[in-house]
């Protein structure tokens, strides 16, 4: 069996094995209840509105995602800020280590940060 874009080939056994792995995906966000923050220290944001949580890898209690299957994961976060001139930053951590950080300075209007 060859992949559609011919990047590699797999034996039938490998394809069956990969299909047997659990599927892992989640999509979450905040409710429409208004603003979150401001915070003076780094704070783990816990998304209470869980839209999809295949294999229950995202914890709506702790805000942590656990990779249940070895592989490549795509995770994206977007944050926005309106109002006065303040800094806003977003970070992503893997096993307690920061792997992504983005910061912006709102000049009194509307600012959006997005990272993946």
Higher pLDDT, 54 or 10: 54
Residues 111 and 54 in one domain: no
Same-domain status, 21 and 67: yes
Cis status, amide bond into 26, omega within 30 of 0: no
Nearest Cα to Cα of residue 60 among 70, 46, 73: 46
- Copy the structure tokens of residue 50: 């869980």
- Terminal-residue alpha carbon distance, the chain: 32
Its domain, for residue 4, covers 1-72
Confidence (pTM)? 0.65
Q: Does residue 63 share a domain with residue 93?
A: no
Beta carbons of 99 and 92 less than 8 angstroms apart: yes
Specify whether the CB–CB gap between 99 and 116 falls below 8 A: no
Whether 82 and 58 map to the same domain: the answer is no
For residue 91, give the 3-state DSSP assignment. strand
Contacts of 44 (CB under 8 A, 6+ apart): 62, 63, 64
Q: Which of 35, 90, 28, 115 is nearest to 65 (CA)?
A: 28
Q: What confidence score (pLDDT) does residue 5 get?
A: 43
My answer on whether 68 and 78 are in the same domain is: no
User: How sure is the predictor about 110, in pLDDT bands with cuts at 50, 70 and 90?
Assistant: confident
Instruction: Specify the pLDDT at position 10.
Output: 47
Same-domain pairing of 5 and 57? yes
Q: Which residues are within 8 A (CB) of 107 and not within 5 positions of it... i.e. 6 or more apart?
A: 85
Same domain, 12 and 68: yes
């Amino acid at each position: 069996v060859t992949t559609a874009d011919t990047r590699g080939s797999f034996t039938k056994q490998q394809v069956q094995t990969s299909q047997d792995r659990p599927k892992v995906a989640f999509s979450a966000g905040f409710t429409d209840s208004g603003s979150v923050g401001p915070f003076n220290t780094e704070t783990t944001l816990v998304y209470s509105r869980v839209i999809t949580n295949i294999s229950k890898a995202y914890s709506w209690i702790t805000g942590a995602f656990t990779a249940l299957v070895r592989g490549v994961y795509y995770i994206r976060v977007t944050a926005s800020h309106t109002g006065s001139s303040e800094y806003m930053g977003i970070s992503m951590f893997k096993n307690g280590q920061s792997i992504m950080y983005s910061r912006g300075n709102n000049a009194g209007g509307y600012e959006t940060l997005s990272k993946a």
